[in-house]
């Protein structure tokens, strides 16, 4: 595929083409790419589920065959050398060709099968993806689906470098969308959550400035947005509690430890009886959820089927989650028999 180009560009007399073909497997190339991305061979070993000593030996073997150092070692980790950058580019091309081959062969079989890897953030997985994934598994049992939770900021990066077939993420101004194709999925809103006895609890809506003055608990996915809002208002933002998820932030609000802002899709019936939920009166309160796929390779049949299933299953039409939740639940009838 790209091996001849690799040999020409590195231009090393000791580069043994026969050893390259016989001894370097795809897993070693993937380990090499992981070492570049993680910047440490030890972290790459964890990511690829092998012993650090084995990972080190594989990288050293690769360098022995190349006849040149591929990774420059330093106190802060590893970075690719000039030859390593050539190998990185060619290895990514090889894996891209393999993915394309997999997709084309799957098309010839006529059945949706194979592997599908998805990355997304917790605030999207729980309310928006879990149900669809369950339904997809029932409709396409021959697809091996792997879901990984990561930070929203990492979703696009993981998809762009080919670590996942599909990413579901919330749009943000700082995200670099180069290397991915983006499909709009849906919208939801951020809402304010305060204790039921809080001074703001009787309000219909509240802005960021008032919440920030009342001990605003910051979920990690919204910390950047909070800081940017504070800068626009000419104020400093400091949160008494910084947590990874909106669910934890809500739990702290229930305990009376502050107020928070979370995606509306995290609400449920039980929660509305324990906290007060207000409209979040900011222009950035609307959250745009998008789908990302690698632009360098065609979508597999499994990826296309899953995207079609996502776009075909809106949540409760155009009604907001709170409108749905505030609709009285139908009564439960108990039939007594003799």
pLDDT of residue 190: 93
Buried/exposed code over 164-195 (b: 16+ C-beta within 10 A; e: otherwise): bbbbbbbbbeebeeeebebeebbebebbbbbb
- Backbone phi, psi, residue 97, to 5°: -65, -40
As a whole number of angstroms, the distance between CA 75 and CA 68 comes to 20
Q: What is the mean pLDDT of residues 53-70?
A: 89
As a whole number of angstroms, the distance between CA 90 and CA 70 comes to 13
Count how many Cα atoms sit within 13 Å of the Cα of residue 166 in the half-sphere of its side chain.
Answer: 27
Q: Give the DSSP H/E element, type plus range, for residue 79.
A: strand 77-80
pLDDT of residue 244: 82
Whether 327 shows a pLDDT value over 70: the answer reads: no
Structure pTM?
0.61
pLDDT of residue 108: 66
The answer to whether residues 70 and 59 touch, using CB atoms and an 8 Å cutoff, is yes
Tell me the average pLDDT of the chain.
82
As a whole number of angstroms, the distance between CA 94 and CA 296 comes to 12
Pairwise pLDDT comparison (39 vs 268), residue with the higher score: 39
Closest Cα partner for 250 from 151, 123, 72?
123
Maximum average pLDDT range among 172-176, 184-188, 316-320: 184-188
């Amino acid at each position: 595929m790209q091996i001849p180009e690799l040999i020409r560009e590195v231009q090393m007399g000791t580069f043994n083409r026969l050893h390259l073909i016989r001894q370097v497997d795809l897993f070693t190339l993937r380990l090499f790419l992981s070492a570049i991305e993680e910047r440490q061979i030890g972290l790459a070993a964890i990511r690829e589920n092998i012993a650090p000593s084995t990972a080190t030996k594989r990288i050293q073997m690769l360098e022995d065959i190349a006849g040149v150092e591929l990774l420059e070692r330093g106190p802060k980790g590893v970075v690719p050398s000039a030859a390593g950058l050539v190998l990185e580019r060619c290895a990514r091309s090889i894996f891209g060709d393999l993915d394309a081959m997999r997709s084309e062969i799957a098309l010839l079989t006529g059945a949706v099968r194979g592997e599908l890897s998805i990355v997304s953030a917790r605030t999207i997985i729980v309310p928006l993806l879990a149900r669809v994934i369950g339904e997809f598994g029932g409709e396409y049992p021959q697809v091996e689906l792997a879901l990984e939770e990561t930070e929203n900021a990492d979703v696009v990066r993981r998809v762009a470098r080919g670590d996942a077939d599909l990413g579901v993420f919330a749009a943000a101004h700082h995200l670099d969308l180069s290397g991915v194709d983006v499909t709009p999925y849906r919208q939801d809103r951020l809402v304010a959550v305060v204790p039921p006895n809080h001074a703001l609890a009787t309000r219909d809506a509240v802005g960021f400035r008032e919440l920030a003055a009342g001990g605003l608990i910051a979920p990690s996915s919204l910390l950047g947005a909070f800081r940017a809002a504070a800068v626009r208002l000419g104020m400093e933002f400091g949160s008494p509690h910084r947590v990874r998820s909106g669910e934890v932030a809500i739990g702290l609000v229930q305990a009376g430890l502050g107020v928070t802002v979370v995606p509306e899709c995290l609400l449920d019936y039980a929660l509305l009886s324990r906290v007060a939920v207000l409209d979040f009166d900011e222009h950035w309160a609307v959250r745009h959820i998008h789908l990302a796929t690698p632009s360098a390779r065609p979508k597999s049949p499994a990826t296309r089927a899953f995207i079609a299933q996502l776009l075909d299953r809106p949540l409760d039409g155009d009604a907001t989650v709170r409108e749905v939740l505030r609709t009285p639940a139908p009564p439960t009838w108990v039939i007594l028999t003799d």
